[in-house]
Amino acid sequence: MAENEIIPIEMVLPHKIPLIPLNGKPIFPGIFTPIMLSNADDIAAVNEALNTNGGILGMVLVKQEANPMAIENLYEIGTVAKVVKRINLPDDSINIFISTLKRFKIKKALSKEPPLMAAVEYLDDVGEVTDEIKALTRALISEMKQITENNPLFSEEMRLNMVNIDHPGKIADFFTSILNIEKEEQQKILETIDIHERMEKVLMFIKREQELLRIQKKIQSEINEKIEKSQREYFLREELKAIKQELGMPGDAKSSDYQKFKEKIDSFKFTGEVLETVTQELEKFQLMEPNSSEYIVTRNWLDLICSLPWNQTSNKEFNLEEAVKILEEDHYGLKDVKERIAEYLAVRKLKSDSK
């Protein structure tokens, strides 16, 4: 082989590689990303890759949790990556920077215990770049731009990558990696080798994401309108109240009720626990919004308090026998209650006071 001849990547990549199980989401080819690893088995897999085959390892999504992890618990198709840099962290975990290269399929398990080793077959994209593929590429970029516009979740670097990727299959992979979709759906995209089919699936996910964003914006708009309306009404009421006070006009119904209750309660000259309770309810009434459910309850309570004859006494004589007779005629049964009322009236008559 000539010295300057280009060597195909299939001839460079080893067919026996260590595997790192992914619990989050699958990683797609053509991406440079950091990964933090704290599991001892994963670190052992990285060491194996660096020591034996130039840092080449496989990243595979976990299909079913297991301890210890076995190859049977992983999806068959993953992404091969090269460890570009490794950083040891103080807590014995490591941070690696990987460059993902292409898809692979697990052909055979070479180890039953971690670190996991497997014989793999590398997968190429299927399909030629036809006019239909070019049209799908333009549609993907156009629809994706609508999602990324004014969205803080998409960085400027992501937007630049959208227009700089030149291969249709890689564009579909990149869009899938940044879309907010379930990991199982992302894995299905990773397993789709046909470019046309993959792009159609990604376009469907983009359309669905657009619909979710439209509904989200609608909900946010409705909530903002309600908040703005409530704030506007509050400020207008406060302005109207200030204008009426300035002109000497009566205030709103709530202010009028508060003033009426306050004057009435002050005239009763309450003391002690009664004064404390009534004052607390009156202050609570002043702070309440008329639309709240407790407003009516508190208002009725204050209205009842103000309607009671607190400072009125009666020296009217009453006949105990006549009172008992009235109780028997007007109320059937209730023997204990009647006896208690009769005892109370008897004590009142003996004491000859109103307390």
Alpha-carbon gap, residue 186 to 139, rounded angstroms: 20
Give the mean pLDDT of the chain.
82
Alpha-carbon gap, residue 224 to 221, rounded angstroms: 5
Copy the structure tokens of residue 235: 């400020």
Average pLDDT of the residues in 18-28: 91
Give me the pLDDT at residue 143, please: 83
Residue 96 CB-density burial (10 A; 0-12 exposed, 13-18 middle, 19+ buried): buried
Copy the structure tokens of residue 106: 């697990």
CB 214 within 8 A of CB 206: no
CB 136 within 8 A of CB 171: no
Helix (H, G, I), strand (E, B) or coil at 56: strand
Tell me which residue has tokens 């400027």: 156
Whether the per-residue pLDDT at 153 is higher than 90: the answer is no
Number of separate helices (H) and strands (E) present in the chain: 12, 6
Give me the pLDDT at residue 1, please: 47
Give me the pLDDT at residue 343, please: 80
Alpha-carbon gap, residue 224 to 309, rounded angstroms: 49
Span of 18-22, 30-34, 154-158 with lowest mean pLDDT: 154-158
User: pLDDT (tens digit, 9 = 90+) per residue, 164-192?
Assistant: 677 888 888 888 888 888 899 999 999 99
pLDDT, greater one: 33 or 347: 33
Span of 144-153, 207-216, 271-280, 340-349 with lowest mean pLDDT: 144-153
Give me the pLDDT at residue 284, please: 85
CB 105 within 8 A of CB 76: yes
Instruction: Kindly give the pairing relationship between strand 16-22 and strand 56-61.
Output: parallel
Longest distance between any two alpha carbons in the chain, whole Å: 130
| Per-residue exposure over 257-285, b if at least 16 CB sit within 10 Å of its own CB, e if not | bbeebbeebeebebeeeeeeebeebbeeb
Alpha-carbon gap, residue 133 to 78, rounded angstroms: 24
- For the chain, list the domains and their CATH numbers: 9-123 (2.30.130.40), 125-248 (1.20.58.1480), 253-307 (no CATH), 320-351 (no CATH)
Amino acid at 35: I
- In percent, the amount of the chain with pLDDT more than 70 equals 86
Give the H/E segment covering residue 273.
Answer: helix 272-287
